[in-house]
Amino acid sequence: MPRLKPYAQIPGSSTQRSTMSFPFADVTNRPLSELLSLRGRRAVVTGAAQGLGKAIASRLAEAGADLLLIDLNADAADSAATELAQRYGVRVLSTRADVADAASVVAAADFAAAELGGIDVWVNNAGIFPNAPVTVMPDEMWDSTFAVNARGVFLGAREAARRMSADGSGGVIVNIISTAGVQVAFPGMAAYVGSKHAALGMTKSLAVDLAPLGIRVLGVAPSFVPTEGNLAAAKAGAEAAAAAGIEMPPLEVMNKSMIGRMGTPDDIARVVLFAASDLSMIMTGSTLMADGGETL
Ligand SMILES: NC(=O)c1ccc[n+]([C@@H]2O[C@H](COP(=O)([O-])OP(=O)(O)OC[C@H]3O[C@@H](n4cnc5c(N)ncnc54)[C@H](O)[C@@H]3O)[C@@H](O)[C@H]2O)c1
């Protein structure tokens, strides 16, 4: 267990925060190529076997980071790791872990710290999006959604921050939220929308706690991006609603994009790369809307 300062001893944890010196470098004079590069950094991406997580891992690898891919699906995470390592010539490891389970997250974070030599970037991407009208939503759907989408973000951030602060080097935590963190785009999403509002609020609070440790925390909020998991969840939700005699609007209502198309996983991954890199050094606590203007 890394040695941590009691909260009260952390500079900035008191009301005098504005007078304290925070350990974020001024990178004004560094060249763009350096600011965008993650060479020498160690990054962890959760839910990285497919969808947005795999696209995010791919851009972080291209930028030079060594990586640990975490997923419930060990085989798919392993093949994603092999593919990215071959394509970008960086170290990419994988491990099976459940982000909703504290012991599992601790083991994965220990593995990253031991095998990669530390953690500089942690992306809380794993998420689930079950859909059911609230009148037929079972308790288990509510609980599991909050376990993955909210507790998973808390556990990932806590374990990342403990290890980032252990050697004093700081780092960046990026939480993949959703436009559901600020609005309701579709019926049947009470659990999901609640959990993503929680994750967005937590992003602000984590930023306040972790700034004195040199750790920035940012959210990235995608709009609807077709992925394996997303399309399956939308279909299952429509079926559950139909079985309950409730008519759901067609999928197209999710596309209110100003850019004339839906987003792709790589559209989101490039925003995450910006957040994870030194280009975004001035930012912490905010959530970047990667939504093609949907929430305007
Ligand atoms: N695709 C979208 O339209 C969209 C929009 C907004 C936000 N998001 C968010 O982006 C993230 C990724 O979404 P996606 O569309 O790529 O989903 P996806 O279902 O395609 O992929 C999610 C991955 O996370 C893994 N995972 C799920 N639960 C896990 C757990 N408990 N522990 C570890 N791994 C777990 C899955 O095995 C899967 O590989 C989620 O947080 C989601 O809420 C997605």
What phi and psi values does residue 175 have, to the nearest 5 degrees? -100, 125
**With the C-alpha atoms ordered 171, 175, 179, 180, is the resulting torsion angle positive or negative?**
negative
| 127 CA distance to ligand 1 middle (Å) | 4
56 in contact with ligand 1, CB cutoff 6 A: no
- Cα 31 to ligand 1 centroid, rounded to whole Å: 34
Q: How far apart are CA 159 and CA 88, in angstroms?
A: 27
Could you identify the atom of ligand 1 that is nearest to the CA of residue 124? Answer: 41
pLDDT band at 8 (very low <50, low <70, confident <90, very high): very low
Specify the residue with its C-alpha closest to ligand 1, atom 18.
Answer: 229
| Per-residue pLDDT tens over the stretch 250-272 | 666 556 788 888 899 999 999 99
Decide: 290 and 271 in contact? Cβ < 8 Å. Answer: yes
Extended beta strands in the chain, E state: 42-46, 66-71, 92-96, 121-124, 171-176, 215-222, 287-290
pLDDT at 201 over 90: yes
Is pLDDT above 90 for 12?
A: no
- Asked whether the beta carbons of 175 and 218 are under 8 A apart, the reply is yes
Regarding the beta carbon of 251 and ligand 1, being less than 6 Å apart is answered: no
Which of 113-122, 128-137, 191-200, 250-259 is predicted least confidently?
250-259
Mean pLDDT on 152-166: 96
Confidence check: pLDDT of 153 > 90: yes
Specify the pLDDT at position 17.
Answer: 43
Candidates 151, 140, 164, 182; CA nearest to 288 is 182
51 C-alpha to ligand 1 centroid (Å): 7
pLDDT at 2: 46
Percent of the chain's residues with pLDDT above 70: 90
Known catalytic residue at 88: no
230 CA distance to ligand 1 middle (Å): 8
CATH number of this structure's domain 32-289, picked from the four choices 3.40.50.720, 1.10.1790.20, 3.40.50.300, 3.40.50.150 = 3.40.50.720
Over its C-alpha atoms, the chain yields an Rg (Å, rounded) of 19
Per-domain residue ranges for the chain?
A: 32-289
C-alpha pair distances (Å), 271 with each of 46, 192, 193, 279, 287: 17, 22, 22, 11, 11
- Give the confidence band of 246 by pLDDT, cuts at 50, 70, 90: confident
Q: Which of these ranges, 1-10, 68-77, 82-91, 113-122, has the smallest mean pLDDT?
A: 1-10
Average pLDDT of every residue of the chain: 91
Instruction: Report the predicted TM-score, pTM, of the whole model to 2 decimal places.
Output: 0.93
Higher per-residue confidence, 269 vs 132:
269
Among residues 78, 90, 89, the alpha carbon closest in space to that of 48 is found at: 78
Average pLDDT over residues 142-146: 98
Q: Tens of pLDDT along 91-117? A: 999 999 999 999 999 999 999 999 999
Asked if 200 and 221 count as a contact pair (C-beta separation under 8 A), the reply is yes
Q: In which band, very low, low, confident or very high, does the pLDDT at 11 lie, cut at 50, 70 and 90?
A: very low
pLDDT exceeds cutoff 50 at 187: yes
Which pLDDT band holds residue 14 (cuts at 50, 70, 90)?
very low
Q: Is the CB of 125 under 6 A from ligand 1?
A: yes
Q: Tokens 């980032």 identify what position?
A: 164
